[in-house]
Amino acid sequence: MNGSNSIFKPVRMVLLFNFLAFILMYFYGSENSLNVLLLGLAVIFTIGILYHIIKVYDWGDEYLFLIASMLCSIGILMIYRLDPDYGIRQIKWFGLGTAVFFLTFIFLGKTKFWSSKPMIYAYPLISIFLFSVTLIFGQRIGGAKNWIEIFGINVQPWEIIKLLYVFYAGLFFSNRELIYLPTVNLKGKAIKINSIFLFSLISYVHLGFLVLQREWGGAVLLFLIFFSFLYAFDNHRSFLFVNGVFALVGGFVGYLLLDHIQVRIWTWIDPWSDMAGKGYQITQSLFAIGAGGFFGTGIGLGNPEIIPEVHTDFIFSAICEEMGIFGGVAVVLLYFLLVYRGIKISLRIDNIFYKAASFGITAIFGFQTFIIIGGVIKLVPLTGITLPFISYGGSSLISTFLALGALQAVSMKNSFSASKVVEADE
């Protein structure tokens, strides 16, 4: 490849960005400045070394990790700028995240455990268990009851559940013909129930738990993933249509019955009439984006700290304020590249389990990004969900890296099968 001889190799750009970002953070912070410089060196080495391992040992797609690292670097810089303590913690989470990525990749790459048939029972059961624990022991933070405290650390089980759901879907679609459903006797006729009903049932159970937790962003995301699976891996168009209608009716009934949903719709349509109250978050977010203009105020020169929950859900508004619309568009393009690489991986692999799992993970990245970015810029109603790789928070970052590890593992199987083909040709 010609590009490999260029000094502008993507990995160097990512490392250079980090180098500059950490120098900036060194001058920005106050007491733990030296600390941040050391952590910065660690981040640069981690990204550099892990990238080269992936490349040298041919561990599949070399860009996945690079794109994720770039997004994380932007996130770390922004979070550190908002609050140096959070920034330091995010750097540590990033370190742990890369470790999780590495281990997930090794574990899933070397074992067939995650695609073994018994897991088709295990995934939904673990999910339902985690959901129940959240409902019973959960803490309500910001309206949604989606956190549980384990050893003093707040964990969001849903971040793991969405991956289990995707793996379950993979197993389901790769083993459909083996799934036995009892026949129903209707007027003497034996009717065989299509297994897709079982998949739908499990999906709606997940959805039900999310609604109970008032995790609206999660519910929308899960439905979009479910719908994408139905569309791509099932041929019953009418069933797809019925589910679509079902969702619309469900959404409408939810709107009529639930105050929470009404508020979200109304603050989307007109946040300006209640700027001090319910429209506060979204209007503050729009003020921030407007303040930045095309090129931004410059990092550290804006006032994104006014926006509520700016570390997590509203991090994109902070990026737009200080790095400008161009910065925001660049971030969106990074996610586009990530989704592009992901789809490419799932297109290439033949094994249906891997295909569905990698497709599901990619769809999570894509839809989750759209739901939150579209929400904070008032393109769609705002539902709280984290921005993958960028938002502050351990649960989110760890689970996203777990998903990325899985995607990487699939991409390696891909390159193995590809190289086998090449060998066979020779």
Question: Which of 320, 313, 285 lies closest to 299 in space, CA to CA?
Answer: 320
Task: Write the DSSP symbol of residue 113.
Answer: G
How would you class 273 by CB atoms within 10 Å of its CB: exposed for 0-12, middle for 13-18, buried for 19 or more? exposed
Tell me if 362 sits within 8 A of 67, measured CB to CB.
no
Biggest distance spanned by C-alpha atoms of the chain: 80
- The count of other CB atoms within 10 Å of the CB of residue 254 is 15
Q: How far is the CB of 57 from another protein (least distance, A)?
A: 28
Q: CB of residue 303 vs another protein: minimum separation in angstroms?
A: 5
Helix (H, G, I), strand (E, B) or coil at 29: coil
Cross-strand bridge partners of residue 149: 154
Q: Phi and psi of 214, rounded to 5°?
A: 55, 35
Q: Taking the CA of residue 284 as centre, how many other CA atoms within 13 Å lie in the half-sphere pointing to its CB?
A: 19
Q: Binding another protein by CB under 8 A: which of 119, 210, 320, 385?
A: 320
Do 312 and 147 meet the contact criterion of CB atoms below 8 Å apart?
A: no
Nearer to another protein, 99 or 343 (CB): 343
Query: 264 or 378, CB closer to another protein?
Result: 378
The residue (of 95 and 244) whose beta carbon lies closer to another protein is: 244
Q: Which is nearer to another protein, 178 or 276 (CB)?
A: 276
Q: Between residues 202 and 289, which has the closer beta carbon with respect to another protein?
A: 289
- Establish if 277 lies at the interface with another protein (CB under 8 A): no
Among 377, 406, 409, 412, binds another protein (CB under 8 A): 377
Total residues at interface with another protein (CB under 8 A): 44
CA dihedral for 315, 300, 322, 40, sign (positive or negative): negative
CA distance 144 to 140: 5
The verdict on 355 binding another protein (CB under 8 A) reads yes
Q: Check binding of 289 to another protein (CB under 8 A).
A: yes
353 binds another protein (CB under 8 A): no
Tell me whether strands 153-155 and 144-150 are parallel, antiparallel or unpaired.
antiparallel
**Shortest Cβ distance from residue 217 to another protein (Å)?**
15
Q: Please give the angle made by the CA atoms of 394, 395 and 398, to the nearest 5 degrees.
A: 75
Binding-site string for another protein from residue 197 to residue 236, where x marks contact by CB under 8 A and - marks none:
-------------------------------x--xxx-x-
Interaction between residue 238 and another protein (CB under 8 A) = no
Q: Is 275 in the site for another protein (CB under 8 A)?
A: yes
97 lies in the binding site for another protein (CB under 8 A): no
Q: Give the tokens for residue 181.
A: 């459903």
Instruction: Give me the DSSP letters along 293-359.
Output: TTT-S-TTTS-GGGSTTTTTTTHHHHHHHHHHHHHHHHHHHHHHHHHHHHHHHHHH---HHHHHHHH
Instruction: State which of residues 265, 266, 340, 417 lies at the interface with another protein (CB under 8 A).
Output: 340
Which residues lie below 8 Å from residue 8, measured CB to CB, with a gap of 6+?
none
Task: Single out the segment in contact with another protein by CB under 8 A; choices: 57-65, 203-211, 262-270, 321-329.
Answer: 321-329
CB of 376 to another protein, least distance (A): 10
Contact flag: residue 241 with another protein (CB under 8 A): no
Judged by CB under 8 A, does residue 68 bind another protein?
A: no
| Options 76, 339, 398, 409; binder of another protein; rule CB under 8 A | 339
How far from the centroid of its chain's Cα atoms is residue 164's Cα?
Answer: 13
Query: Binding residues for another protein, per CB under 8 A?
Result: 228, 231-233, 235, 272, 275-276, 283, 286-291, 293-294, 303, 306, 320, 325, 328-329, 332-333, 335-336, 339-340, 343, 346-347, 352, 355, 359, 363, 366-367, 369-370, 373-374, 377, 379
